[in-house]
Homo-oligomer: A and B are copies of this chain.
Amino acid sequence: MNPSYSFLRKTLLFRGTTEDELPQLLDCLAPTYRDFKKNEMILRQGEDVSAVGLVLSGRVQIIEEDFWGNRSILADAWPGDMFAEAYAFLPGELLRVSVVAAEPSNVMMLDGRRMLEVCSSACRFHTRLVQNILAESARKNLALTRKVSHMSKRTTRNKLLSYLSSQSLAAGSDSFDIPFNRQQLADYLGVDRSAMSNELCKMRDDGLLEFERHHFRLKSEISI
């Protein structure tokens, strides 16, 4: 059930490794492969994991169960996606989520400790792996920090201004496209779609911005 090298080299985790490094690296990491039936539990809330998961085929879901047993789906992980990577490097931190196979799935588990270990032959490959993990973790961090900073605003208008300003600065222009439709943007900001739609139009009436579908243009206050 070993995955193809070409598949692995496209994943975030193994990105940048060469065709000939990969066998050696895998040999050194000693991954385990596991198959799961649909709805089978892969990792359980409360467990102490020290392994990074990598979805090879199928689809897995990250779910959360609260004090009263209400379940909610936090994320989907598709082939090539990692899961539990934040826990793999925090020994003693118990899982706050469960991971379940949404379809029959094949999964690779990689020991976090082995990834950081120095082994004589593969040091260079480990460095690449660690770079990839660190970069991905840093990327998620920035994305989450931005999301929190938008959601912290008290009104829908200020949430929108925070988000749009951030997009504008990222684009380096007052004119830019956003990667969401209205429903997705509302979900991202944690507000109601229709209320948000309404607020956008008010902001346009107030001369703060112009927009058309996915395209926005912010106006500096000088134009008022």
Contact = CB atoms under 8 A, between A and B. Distances in A.
Contacts of A148: 144, 147-148, 151
Interface residues of A, number: 55
Given A64-B149, A89-B131, A133-B134, 11 more contacts: A68-B221, A74-B149, A90-B135, A90-B138, A116-B127, A118-B123, A130-B130, A141-B141, A147-B148, A151-B151, A151-B190
Interface in A20-65: 45, 64
Given A86-B138, A96-B169, A131 B144 contact: no
A220 B67 CA distance: 8
22 contacts: A64-B149, A66-B169, A67-B168, A67-B174, A67-B218, A68-B220, A89-B138, A90-B142, A93-B142, A96-B142, A96-B166, A96-B170, A116-B134, A140-B141, A141-B144, A144-B144, A144-B145, A148-B151, A151-B151, A151-B152, A152-B190, A154-B192
Interface string A132-176: 011101111110111111011110000001101110111000100
A214 interface: no
A9 B138 CA distance: 24
A199 B145 CA distance: 27
A206 to B, nearest CB: 13
A162 B66 contact: yes
B139 A90 contact: yes
Nearest to A142: B86
Closest 9 CB pairs of A and B: A67-B165, A144-B144, A66-B165, A86-B138, A137-B137, A89-B134, A86-B141, A151-B151, A89-B138
